Structure 1
Amino acid sequence: MVSYTRFAPRIARLVVSTVFCAICLVGFLHVLMMPVGVTGVVLSFSYMVALLMLQLLYFGRETPWFRRPWSSLALLLQAGLVYLPILQFQQAWVGMPGFLAGSVLLTLTPAVAWPAFALVVMSMGVAQAQFGGTYVDVVYTSVSTVITGLVVYGLSRLAGLVREVHEVRTELAEMAVAQERLRFARDLHDLLGYSLSTITLKTELTHRLVNRQPARAKEELGEILEISRRALVDVRSVASGYRELSLDEECRSVHSVLTAAGVQVRINQEYEDLPIRVSTVLATVLREAATNVLRHSRAKNCEVTVGCTDDNAFVEMINDGVAAVSSDRDFGGGSGLDNLTHRLGELSGELVSEIDSGNRFRLYAYAPLRVPDEDERVVA
């Protein structure tokens, strides 16, 4: 199946070429059955090759709507190749104008193409009558021209559609790969950035406490080990494309980490049940906000509120210690706030970040409680 998909345009092109060659071969065999001599055979073969190359290399490549002058010249050349040899080969050549009938459908606008198609078919009926054909011969030639013209048109368009579908499929595959890379990068940043910052902070704290307060240092080492294990689970969840975060656990973790960094933390939790996707995204917001406090401020006080209104769930974090920061975007740093904006946008939520007049940074994020296709709920 994979091999067929990869080579589908080539296979379609091969089918078209085979059918067109078969049509020309039938016409050439009709010529051979006439007493035309060696010169006539060579001329008919040359006409066939020229007609086939023009059909395959120009009209068969793509619908040349935007090459009107060249298309007109190509149609005139093809008309000469299908009509002029009739004067020499007569009934043996009446099957060839089907190529012209198909080409006008490929090249001209519908308002012009179908009348031109009808004229080509009628001209073959008239030609057959002039050559002394019976009514049956006239009808047969007309129907044969219609069939050949539609086959030429249909197979040419089919080959073009196969090529277009193949190109679109390739573009979609490339877009899927790019989106997966972005997802992976966002997850690594949002999940591991916080964990690694926490591990660094607690390791520095443990290094200072190991001689003065061995018992406290041992507790911190235990927490470092737990955070490391959680980070390992996060890495595996990123690789599998599935992850679910507990908002309660993140609140406890943020309190522990910021307290260890010497920040006075107050967390207000005013919610009960949240949809899983909302809970996970808000937990991610909380992680990123805590990471920004550790990396980009010298906070002494931090207040976190996690709650619900009638329609939305929200997280708000306010901290001081950002006097040296030039803007709220600088405070966010990297791509953290952009990642959060993207995640909240998927839930029709929004992220607001600002620095107030008291040099305090405020981050507010909300997401609707009613998430599309989200029926499963989790107790926070």
Structure 2
Amino acid sequence: MTDDTTRDAAAASAAGAAPAAWAAPGARRRHRRGAGSPWERYGWLMAVIWLVFLVYPVMALLRSEAPQAWIITGWVALIVFVVVYVAGFMNGMSFGGGGLTSPPKPIQWMAFGALIVCAALTIPGAGGNALSFLPFIMSFASYGLTRPAHWLTMVASIAITAAVVFLTPTGATYLSVLAIVGMLAVVNTVSTTLIIRSAQAEKLGLELATSEGREAVARDVHDLVGHSLTVVNLKAQLVRRLIDSDPERAKAELADIESLTTEAIAGVRATVAGVRSAALVEQLASCRDALRAAEVTMGVEGDAAALSPAQSLTASWILREATTNVLRHARARSVTVRIAPGTFTVTDDGRGFTGSDGNGVRGMRERATTGGATLTVAAGPDGGTCVEVTW
């Protein structure tokens, strides 16, 4: 293999490695959470595969005529570079921090600095071949750190590569690396911009869903309290007229007023409780307790984190209403909740779906539509009812 061919392979493959290694957080947030998932167990192999293309500086160190001390230093630095890079990949977004959409943790900056130092220490032994480290460092900054770090690292990498190409006697040998570094800069910029915009859209969707949910609650409370207070007002007027002429009937009307106010208070509390337990994890626990009190077991398959925040909000409302329907109508003995990316299912083993939409089902459809989802209610595979929400 010629030097140019090897260099092209190293730089080009590193360019492809970056999105796989560092742009993955958005994708991993949707798929990695399941304990024991293939990504959780074997995702680190992606970093190992791409690091194979650091073979060029390895070959350079093997052929190096530099002093032995610098060659040994180069080997140690190369190994540390690989360990830091793979460790960051295994822990996701550089040691479990944020980057891009959330402030990076201090250890991310430490890892970034370690990568730079390691790459620099290979220069005396590997010479210009140390440029092969730049695509990995650029990607680390782009996907694991802040936007200013992305721009600064991108400009610095292009400048360093250009200086080697145009200001050193053998610089033309590395012209292909300059082209790859420039291409990677464009790829990283576009890719990270899309990731950030996607995160912003998800946040906006959550805010919109929350706002619409509050509006729905306001309507529920308005209808409930408005109706109850209207009836209470009429009965109070009737009691005032009857209190002298017909005390017994006045007492009966007062009892009705007491019952109406109790029901209204309970309804408002139930509605507010629904809002307070909007988080899917909390709603799962709340529904499990409610079903247990009715001697109905509830199992959960999957992880709530598989859904985005906006999807979780919709799923919480659907789960609450589905649980209410099970308690009121299903006569079920068990309920199974299945959570997967883009899908949320509640299945019971009760009497089965009659085919007609009651108030509860209509409410769930409205919630699903508000959250940009589609709701399907049908007979379960083994009897009972299956409520499925898909985005």
**Bigger-Rg structure (1/2):** 1
Considering Cα pairs closer than 8 Å and 6+ residues apart, tell me whether 1 or 2 has the greater RCO.
2
From the two aligned structures, give the one with the greater helix fraction: 2
